Structure 1
Amino acid sequence: MTGRPVPTGPAVLVTGGSSGLGAAVVEAIARAGGRPCVLDRRPPVDGVPYLSCDLADTRAAEAATRQLADQVGGLDGVVTAAGTDTPGRLADLPAETWERVVAVDLLATAAVIRAALPYLERSRGRVVTVASTLGVKAVSDATAYCAAKFGVVGFTRALAAELAGSVGVTLLVPGGMRTAFFDERDEQYRPAPDAALSDPRNVAAAVLFALGQPPGCSVRELVVCADEESSYP
């Protein structure tokens, strides 16, 4: 009896793995023989282990991380690709909207990694957090997103110091990508039709590179953007 070979490579949890960069990372891991699994509000491609979770609920995110890790038999890596944004001036955004951006982009990053740490420490695994070029460059009408992504930068650098020698930690700083991330924004907050944006598959290849470093070696930080993309630095 023949069939598709069962992947036996490293198990990697990807938040936001059903679309955008997260989906590209899931595809890259699977193509490399790994075993991706996903936390998201929507299901990923068929056959990928998945739990539905609203990451803004950080306690639920922690519980779902532990449940999915047990389901797949442990974790060798975590990629926190989930992200959201609602641009607008601070005085104009409802408080709930502003705080949801920070919850999903920053607090859930910490919550998922916190829950995954016992598994990662056992496997001597790796973490890749996803910040943004707006985690190192501030712009108007993005107070929530910049606060969250600047937070991811600081969190990841501190985490790398804290986990040195036990879990590898990489900070990914991507520029704008050709994904649906911008689709629901007001026109003034969308990239121009001729904007230089990265293919998310190229960014996913950088994630795979970071995850694949040999024991004792870590890529601490990666900036990945289109050659002519203007948001960095």
Structure 2
Amino acid sequence: MRNDVSGSAVLVTGGSSGLGAAVVEAVGKAGGRPYVLDRQAPADGVPWVECDLADTRAAEAATRELADRAGGLDGVVTAAGMDVPGRLADVPAETWERVVAVDLLATAAVVRAALPYLERSRGNVVTVASTLGVKAVSDATAYCAAKFGVVGFTRALAAELAGSVGVTLLVPGGMRTAFFDDRTEQYRPGPDAVLNDPAHVAQAVMFALSQPPGCAVRELVVCADRESSYP
């Protein structure tokens, strides 16, 4: 019976910043062994493989490399994500498609590559969608398409893997991370915006990862209590 992540190997995509970094820290503090896929190095001492997740075949290969290095996997958290907001006609096609590749296609690629390891350990997957995966807004066609896709992918995956791998859909609201830093002013949260602490969201991830085989935490919505995009 699993009731914590002590000793568990957990792969985190996007683990060098934002929610991913908060999950890496939480796993380490709980006695687990975090492993990271990212384009930038995570915290010192955390094993990682440099990977552009938009290259889904590279993401699969990197996942297998880390899983073999870890001696298997007990958990996967697909925290990597990006967005470039703007009207459909104004966002370059290459940029639009990169958002979908990183946020949706890489999620599926990493989980696909991790499945043999997770099935052996009866481990857990936590995919990271967004409140904009259940509520569509203007100037976010790529991000909403990708995150709505993560919602559908995860619900189908949970049905497919029932009885073998735990699958949890995480739907977070806005968080105090660097996610909004490179945006123009019109696409940044206003000064009165209420954003969640990624460390708090990471605790919800830890709850999902720590469930014993046979116990399904299907979906978690975690946001500031005054989140404007949910419900």
| TM score, norm. by length of structure 2 | 0.97
Q: 2:20 aligns with which of 16, 19, 22?
A: 22
The separation in 2 between residues aligned to 1:170 and 1:8, in whole angstroms, is 19
Q: 1:204 aligns with which of 197, 202, 205?
A: 202
The separation in 1 between residues aligned to 2:115 and 2:214, in whole angstroms, is 18
| Residues 9, 72 of structure 2: 8 Å contact kept | yes
Which amino acid letter does the alignment assign opposite residue 69 of structure 1? A
Match of 1:3 in 2: none
**Pairing 1:117-132 to 2, within 5 Å after superposition:** 117-132=115-130
Which amino acid letter does the alignment assign opposite residue 65 of structure 1? T
Q: What's the CA shift for 1:215?
A: 2.0
**Pairing 1:142-221 to 2, within 5 Å after superposition:** 142-221=140-219
Match of 2:46 in 1: 48
Q: What's the CA shift for 1:229?
A: 1.2
| Residues 165, 213 of structure 2: 8 Å contact kept | no
Q: What's the CA shift for 1:28?
A: 0.4
Identity %: 85
The separation in 2 between residues aligned to 1:62 and 1:229, in whole angstroms, is 34
The separation in 2 between residues aligned to 1:69 and 1:134, in whole angstroms, is 31
| Residues 6, 30 of structure 2: 8 Å contact kept | no
Q: What's the CA shift for 1:8?
A: 6.1
The separation in 1 between residues aligned to 2:93 and 2:49, in whole angstroms, is 28
Q: What's the CA shift for 1:103?
A: 0.1
Q: Secondary structure at the match of 1:18?
A: coil
The separation in 1 between residues aligned to 2:59 and 2:227, in whole angstroms, is 33
Deviation beyond 2 Å, 4+ runs, structure 1:
none
The separation in 2 between residues aligned to 1:218 and 1:37, in whole angstroms, is 24
Q: What do residues 132-170 of structure 1 show as CA deviations (whole Å, max 9, x unaligned)? A: 000000000000000000000000000000000000000
Q: Secondary structure at the match of 2:139?
A: coil
Structure 1 unmatched runs, 5+: 1-6
Q: What do residues 100-151 of structure 1 show as CA deviations (whole Å, max 9, x unaligned)? A: 0000000000000000000000000000000000000000000000000000
Q: Secondary structure at the match of 2:37?
A: strand
Q: What do residues 50-75 of structure 1 show as CA deviations (whole Å, max 9, x unaligned)? A: 00000000000000000011011110
**Pairing 1:5-16 to 2, within 5 Å after superposition:** 9-16=7-14
Q: How many residues align?
A: 227
The separation in 2 between residues aligned to 1:215 and 1:109, in whole angstroms, is 22
Which amino acid letter does the alignment assign opposite residue 96 of structure 2? W
Which stretch shifts more, 112-121 or 8-17? 8-17
Q: Secondary structure at the match of 2:126?
A: strand
Which amino acid letter does the alignment assign opposite residue 162 of structure 2? A
Relative contact order (C-alpha < 8 Å, sep 6+): which is higher? 2
**Pairing 1:64-103 to 2, within 5 Å after superposition:** 64-103=62-101
Which amino acid letter does the alignment assign opposite residue 194 of structure 2? A
The separation in 1 between residues aligned to 2:102 and 2:145, in whole angstroms, is 12
Structure 2 unmatched runs, 5+: none
Match of 1:4 in 2: none
Which amino acid letter does the alignment assign opposite residue 46 of structure 1? D
| Residues 123, 213 of structure 2: 8 Å contact kept | no
| TM score, norm. by length of structure 1 | 0.96
Q: What do residues 7-39 of structure 1 show as CA deviations (whole Å, max 9, x unaligned)? A: 961000000000000000000000000000000
Which stretch shifts more, 195-204 or 212-221? 212-221
Q: What do residues 182-216 of structure 1 show as CA deviations (whole Å, max 9, x unaligned)? A: 00011100001221100000000000000001221
